Amino acid sequence: MRIHLFGLLVLACYIPITEAVMITTNTAWDNCELAEIENAGDYYSSSIQSASSSVNCSNAMLSVTGLASSTTTWTVSANLREPPSSQLKLELLRVGDGMGNSLPTGGISYLHLSTAPQVFFSGQGNTVDIPIQFKLSNLSISNTHGLKKLKIEYQISTSN
């Protein structure tokens, strides 16, 4: 018996604000595929990270652009658009600072996503290529096989 488990992360990230601030991401997580599990009883981790060797994914890169001032502060929030169809748990982690006017703060411990927006991390001024990693937990042989679609939404709020 061959079981395939796919993780598909579609990142909906275009959120315009009054000064045309945008948060965007690359498509690094559009088709993340786990290594094949070929035989019943094979061991596999119940938790995987996008940076591990068992997942064909790279870090996603978030960018905050369109700010008129380098002193404008911003906060990125994240949530799942819909709850997972099984007991899967998705978490996000900021694993770098990107490039820009200042260093982001927060997001350095995993954030468990739900359908309610939660603050992920903050920063100031235009910042690009902030690397984000995911962790998928509660994998089980009892989960149905096939394609798993998890849609993440990012929101940005600004203040001066």
DSSP conformation letters of 91-125: EEEE----EESS--BS--S-EE--SS-EEEEEEES
Would you give the DSSP letter of residue 40? Answer: T
Tens of each residue's pLDDT in the chain, 160 residues: 233 333 333 334 434 444 577 777 766 556 666 555 454 555 555 677 776 555 656 778 899 999 989 999 999 999 999 887 677 888 999 999 999 988 999 999 999 999 999 999 999 999 999 999 888 887 766 666 666 678 889 999 998 7
pLDDT in tens, 101-113: 889 999 999 999 9
CB atoms within 10 A of CB 61: 17
What residues make up the domain containing 45?
5-159
For residue 21 the two structure tokens come to: 């601030």
* Count of domains observed in the chain: 1
CATH of residue 24: 2.60.40
Relative to beta strand 73-80, strand 111-112 is: unpaired
